[in-house]
């Protein structure tokens, strides 16, 4: 029997995507959060909800490989609505077209998708951070 709630499968590196997943859970009734890393050992993943979402950071302007591999494992025939949310640092986002390439092979597409610009999880590479990071820059 299919549950009417929402399942959000998330992958988070620095915590930005986990924060977004928790905020969605707080705002969408009957939402269950499921870590993608905890499901990677499964041969096939069958959601029990009619609405499924994916939340993840984009890496190199696309979805992390682990997210793409996970989506390939999913049985989505009974899912009525699919959405995705990508967090990013300010770079272009091609993640959703890459996910749709996976889904189209199975007769599906994302019903909606969202990009959220967050603080970057990448440390800037500075030759001498103490000289380049000024109080003015921090204030700005």
pLDDT values of the chain reduced to their tens digit, one per residue, 140 residues? 456 799 999 999 888 999 999 999 999 999 999 999 999 999 999 999 999 999 999 987 889 999 999 999 999 999 999 999 999 877 777 889 999 999 999 999 999 999 998 776 555 544 555 556 666 756 65
Which pLDDT belongs to residue 81? Answer: 97
CATH 3.40.50.360 fits 3-139, yes or no: yes
The partner residues of 3 in beta bridges, in order of sequence, read 49
Which pLDDT belongs to residue 127? Answer: 53
Which pLDDT belongs to residue 135? Answer: 67
Alpha-carbon dihedral sign for residues 6, 106, 95, 39: positive
């Amino acid at each position: 029997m299919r549950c009417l709630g929402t399942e959000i499968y998330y992958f988070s590196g620095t915590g930005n995507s986990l924060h977004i997943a928790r905020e969605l859970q707080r705002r969408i009734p009957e939402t269950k959060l499921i870590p993608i890393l905890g499901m990677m050992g499964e041969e096939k993943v069958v959601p029990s909800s009619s609405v499924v979402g994916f939340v993840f950071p984009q890496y190199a302007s696309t979805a992390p490989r682990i997210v793409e591999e996970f989506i390939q494992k999913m049985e989505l025939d009974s899912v009525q609505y699919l959405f995705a949310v990508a967090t990013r640092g300010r770079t272009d986002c091609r993640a959703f077209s890459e996910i749709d390439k996976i889904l189209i092979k199975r007769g599906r597409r994302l019903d909606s998708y969202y990009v959220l610009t967050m603080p970057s999880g990448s440390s800037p590479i500075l030759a001498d951070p103490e000289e380049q990071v000024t109080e003015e820059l921090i204030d700005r």
